[in-house]
Amino acid sequence: MPWLIVGTIPREEFPLVHGPCVYDGGSLQVNEHDIPVARGTPALLATACIASKILGIAAPLALLAGDTGRGQGSRQVYAKLMESIPELDLQGVTFHYLQPDVEWHNKILWKLEERNPRPLLVADAGFMYVAKMSGFAASYDLFTPDAGEMAFLADEKAPHPFYTRGFLLQEEERVPELIERAYAAENAAKHLLVKGCIDYVVAAGQLVKAISEPSIPAMEPIGGTGDTVTGLVTALLSADYSIPQACTIAAKTNRQLGLLAAPNPAFSVANLMPFLPQALAVSLG
């Protein structure tokens, strides 16, 4: 069964598209629409395409629309997904950058939960925010927050990461505490991959793995490296790795990616893509 990646492209004129994604080392294509690979959902999709090819599985499907923050494209995506769910047999869905909308979120979640078997549900970025805001975070199989987003999940009152109370200045040091708080408030998915100086893999509130090596500080300022982790997890889950295995391999691969690419401040996430096959091969052993 296919895996679906749902997100937006930061171009207002980009149309609603739904179909398989292809990455040829230059631009990403979905239904013959060219998409430059920068941060955000394009970085996630390109990574998932490359990793899927290495793993010998089909590339994911994509459901996308253009949205620069006004929400119109996100609403198109929500409506198309709601319409399509009854016809789709999916192994899983990765939700990414979408304008948070609790009403649409709840309709889609409930419709997905009617499926038998129910697809695995992964959320990052904007959709992770709305999953928490809705009160249904625990219905998800995996969230992939960074340390700042982990602070948002840990704050039972914050409606958005901008309003997180008093955690952000020291969030990296407090991640284990934030994980505990998020689970206590039922604001975490069944599994977490917390991305940061140390990557934490968590299952049902219990730490499974902490990954800190190799440490490549030059990766931190490159926009989109968190999106590549989520793309790797998506491909590995689609290849039937368990969630803790997929998270561990993805975190290790992203670190190997930095080691192999030896990035400098001028790098974009697209400059990292040629090194991804070797990085994944190293992590797979």
The domain locations on the chain are: 3-284
Domain 3-284 has CATH 3.20.170.30: no
Tokens of 62: 């994509």
| Torsion sign over Cα 4, 246, 224, 49 | negative
Cα(186)–Cα(178) distance, integer angstroms: 12
Radius of gyration of the chain (CA): 17
Predicted confidence pLDDT, tens digits, the chain (285 residues): 999 999 999 998 999 999 999 998 878 999 989 999 988 999 999 999 999 999 999 999 999 999 999 999 999 999 999 999 999 899 999 999 999 999 999 999 999 999 999 999 999 988 999 999 999 999 999 999 998 899 899 988 765 554 444 444 456 788 999 999 999 999 999 999 999 999 999 999 999 999 999 999 989 888 899 999 999 999 999 999 999 999 999 999 999 999 999 998 889 999 999 999 999 999 998
Give the chain's end-to-end CA distance (angstroms, integer): 26
